[in-house]
Amino acid sequence: MRDIQDRGLLYITENTSSFEYKAYGRALGIEPLGIREFNTEHLKLDPNLIFDVDLRSNTTMHKLKTMLNRRGTGCRIFLVDTSARTGMAGARILDADHVLPPRSGADVIHAALREFHGMVVKPEITRSVDTGIAALDGGFRSLLRDEIFDTAGMENASSQIIDAIDSAGVDDWMATVRGYHVGTFQHCMLVTATASSFARQLGMRRSDVIKVTAAALVHDIGKSAIPIEILDKNGPLTPAETQTMRHHPAIGHDYLARKSRIAADALRSVRSHHEFLDGSGYPDGLSGTEIDDITRIITISDIYAALVERRAYKPPKSPDEAYAVLEGLAAKGKLELALVRAFGKVSIHKKAA
């Protein structure tokens, strides 16, 4: 898995504003990158590339020929209408490893990547990751449309994820997510796996582990309403952008409170996962006992996952480095020390424990 996860995956499209590209990107768990914005910086990590662009355009062909003249070791996938000769020829000129029909399912794309890199991935992992991503995608869309949230679907996805992690191990599960997904979906899925194994580690009963897992899946659902330019900004946010970003817990909570059947304590964690025990968090500045156990579990998992995430330009922290940051926050009184210590025993942090 390491090969894909270290190099990253880019989805290059005609433009980033079209709903179609965004929707497809979301199904893959990748934010689209416009062909005009695509530049040599993006090739630094030698990423796997998925092109969803018009290869009949001379400008596009010229740009791609120049940029892709040197062959890296990443996979090149072109989404081309196979009946369009010009497109097929263009893909061949650009040394395509796979030419697939537009809107090919995530499973097809992932299989192509695995085949290219000669990897075998455990099917129970990919199935549960795909189910989780589909549930997330559905949830993000439902929030935007203010539709009823599919609570049963989210619980079903949580249940599958718990079983897959049980049988295949949390490390491989997380590696699969990091290999194929970027951005908010990658983050949500990593928080989910982390919180789920943490809950298991704490000896919670199955129904509570499902509750924690589902809470983790939806904890950032409010980000659905945050502009993509802010969510995916490469660099620090301005104070105004930070203010906007900080609305996401309340947006997610308000939506789920009205439109879902999610348990009250799981719901609270959606609102309060950015609170700290010393009262320095947001949105309500809660402190100490005002922050319940599920929320504390989600907060620790959220911070840990954000640190080990792979981003286009930022190398991820190792599990040990990420764990050290948690210990630092506990020392400052922001996180519960005993809980952070217990977290150190989760399998992904064996070395730190």
Contacting residues toward Fe ion, per CB under 5 A = 220, 302
Q: In what order do the strands lie in the sheet with 32-34?
A: 32-34, 9-13, 48-52, 76-79, 98-100
Minimal distance in Å, beta carbon 270 to Fe ion?
9
Distance CA 34, CA 226 (A): 19
CB-wise, 302 or 336, nearer to Fe ion? 302
Give residue 335's region: left, alpha or beta (phi > 0; psi -120 to 50): beta
CB-wise, 208 or 220, nearer to Fe ion? 220
Minimal distance in Å, beta carbon 282 to Fe ion?
10
Burial 172-210 (b: 16+ CB within 10 A, else e): ebbbbbbbbbbbbbbbbbbbbbbbbbbbbbbebeeebbb
Using CA atoms, how far residue 186 sits from 108, 297, 322, in Å, is 19, 19, 17
Minimal distance in Å, beta carbon 214 to Fe ion?
15
CB-wise, 211 or 219, nearer to Fe ion? 219
CB-wise, 42 or 246, nearer to Fe ion? 246
Q: Which of 150, 106, 127 is nearest to 262 (CA)?
A: 150
Minimal distance in Å, beta carbon 290 to Fe ion?
18
Q: Which of 320, 278, 279, 276 is nearest to 302 (CA)?
A: 276
Q: Exposure of 316 by Cβ count < 10 A (0-12 exposed, 13-18 middle, 19+ buried)?
A: middle
Residue 289 CB partners (closer than 8 Å, separation 6+): none
Minimal distance in Å, beta carbon 40 to Fe ion?
31
Minimal distance in Å, beta carbon 244 to Fe ion?
13
CB-wise, 98 or 248, nearer to Fe ion? 248
CB-wise, 99 or 277, nearer to Fe ion? 277
Beta bridge partners, 99, equal 78
Minimal distance in Å, beta carbon 191 to Fe ion?
6
CB-wise, 191 or 352, nearer to Fe ion? 191
Q: Which residue has the tokens 């919670």?
A: 204
Cα–Cα–Cα angle for 33, 131, 157, rounded to 5 degrees: 130
Minimal distance in Å, beta carbon 223 to Fe ion?
7
Minimal distance in Å, beta carbon 272 to Fe ion?
10
Beta bridge partners, 48, equal 9
DSSP per-residue codes, 69-123: SS--SS-EEEE--TT-HHHHHHHHHTT-SEEE-TT--HHHHHHHHHHHTT----H
CB-wise, 137 or 302, nearer to Fe ion? 302
Distance CA 111, CA 209 (A): 30
CB-wise, 195 or 312, nearer to Fe ion? 195
Angle between the N-to-C axes of helices 123-145 and 19-28, in degrees from 0 to 180, rounded to the nearest 10 = 140
Distance CA 308, CA 180 (A): 15
